[in-house]
Amino acid sequence: MKDKAIFNQVQKKIQELKVEFLDLKILDLKGKLHSLILPSKMLDTKLIEGGVGFDASSYGFAKPEKSDMVMIPDLETMIIDPFRERKTAVFLANIHMADNMRTRFAEDPRFVALKAEEALIKSKFGTSALFGPEFEFFIFKEVGFGVSSEGSYYFLKKDSEEKRNFYHAGSPDDEFIDFKNEAVCLLQNLGINIKYHHHEVAVNQHEIETKFHTLLKTADQAVIIKYVLFNLAKKHNLFVTFMPKPFFGKAGNGWHVHQYIKNKDKNAFLKKGNYANLSEIGLHYMSGLLFHSGSLCAFSNPSTNSYKRLIRGFEAPVSAIFATSNRNAAIRIPAYVNESETRIEYRPGDAASNPYLFLSAMLLSGIDGIFKNISPEKFNFGPFDTAISEAKGFKNKIKELPENLAEALDCLEKDNEYLKYNKVFDSDLIQQWIKIKKQEIAEVSQVPNPKEFELYFNF
């Protein structure tokens, strides 16, 4: 066994804590969490070396005729589930082929993330990439929705009819402070370091921000954070959603990702005296994200609902530009950070994404920008520290983000070579992603919606 010491430590901990069940969790291709529950006595060398068989086609990964694969728990991801009545140890699992060697499955999102981290080291631009996401979400007391042949509907009960900015609202306006405090305590007990939480701009909208971590760990934490919030909401008879745009005419949910590259102990993005103290590597990395922003949106904003958020007027990014304060920019360089924490914030993304694929694609686009010395001046990426409407001479030359998911998928079909560096993404994964997302578009487009009735019912 490769990691016998870790196996022995985990097995000892299982016994000491009197764990009764093992929960192996895998995120499917779209980003939905699945579980396989085993009695704790199943934790043996056979499980760690051979894994448990499952149907990968039901996870969106493979064709039914080639769907037999195995999952093997990553022992280093063990946590104790705070919501189960019987003590349960949770492990995030890796997907392997069913061959004798138990080869890693190339399209496993966790493997994609691992290969992306290795790609950075191979590039020699840095030794690690660090990410600090902001999780925006809504909390509701009452929710209803449904689609049938007789009709479709949705209903969201707002806590206030006041038409104002709720940013950093306190008690009693923020009714869910205790809920968020409980969530943060649970997350910290699970080893996730939280920076803060607060009320966001829209009514019922909230945010939790984490501290910086490496790519794979950040994506792993995203899975656990959503799992905790969904289960805690159910415990309190509440509803939590990360849906990008649940409310018409109000701010939507983003998954803004702060990031920078470290080269051993040094921040590779830092160059004192430059614009926003950003180094040449930082500028080229940022320009890579903006240059590939169209295809990147296929992973960062992978739902039809995502593009109802990416419109002007709601602090949502719509332009492939950067700035220090302009929140319509796809990339913001925070002005309030210490020099040692110089970083960029990629703002278009949302938590409807698969975090492993989104973060990996983002890192690869940045690496490509450094490789190709992509210049922000050449492509008119900025900086635009004033409103776009004031930059009249440049407005027609500014690259805009895709207006819908179909457009983003078209961009991905035309621009995907940068994703294949170090074989992080392969053609099969990219084509499967495009296929399932086009199916989603078709499914949504075929359902009549209430606005159509308002416009056309009495014609």
Tens-digit pLDDT profile for residues 336-377 = 788 888 999 999 999 999 999 999 999 999 999 999 999 999
What's the pLDDT score for residue 61?
87
Q: Per the residue annotation, which of 96, 197, 256, 284 is the catalytic one?
A: 256
Q: What is the DSSP letter of 358?
A: H
Mean pLDDT for 124-138 is 97
User: Which residue of the set 327, 339, 413, 428 is catalytic?
Assistant: 327
Is residue 94 within 8 A of residue 72, CB to CB? The reply is yes
16 annotated active-site: no
Q: Give the closest residue to 362 by CA, choosing from 310, 291, 264.
A: 291
Expressed in angstroms, the distance from the first to the final Cα of the chain is 71
Residue 228 is predicted with a pLDDT of: 98
Question: Do 423 and 115 meet the contact criterion of CB atoms below 8 Å apart?
Answer: yes
pLDDT at 249: 86
CA distance 301 to 258: 16
**pLDDT (tens digit per residue) in 287-296:** 999 999 999 9
Domains, the chain: 4-105 (3.10.20.70), 114-137+237-456 (3.30.590.10)
Q: What are phi and psi of 261, to 5 degrees?
A: -105, 140
Output the CA torsion 21→135→412→432 (10° steps): 20
The one catalytic residue in 117, 136, 174, 368 is 136
Q: Give the pLDDT confidence score for residue 388 in this predicted structure.
A: 57
Q: What is the pLDDT of residues 440-449, one digit of tens each?
A: 999 999 999 8
Is the model's pLDDT at 419 over the cut of 80? yes
Active site residue 236: no
State the pTM of this model: 0.95
Question: How far is 60 from 66, CA to CA, in rounded Å?
Answer: 12
Class of residue 90 by CB neighbours under 10 A (exposed 0-12, middle 13-18, buried 19+): buried
Q: Which pLDDT tens digit goes with each residue over 27-80?
A: 999 999 999 999 999 999 999 999 999 999 999 987 766 789 999 999 999 999
Give the pLDDT band of residue 234 (cuts 50, 70, 90): very high
> What DSSP letter does each residue of 346-357 carry, written as one string?
E-S--TTS-HHH
213 part of the active site: no
Query: Who wins on pLDDT, 357 or 453?
Result: 357
Residue 327 bears catalytic tag: yes
Question: Helix 405-414 to helix 293-300 angle, to the nearest 10 degrees?
Answer: 120
Which band of pLDDT confidence, cut at 50, 70 and 90, is reported for residue 224? Answer: very high
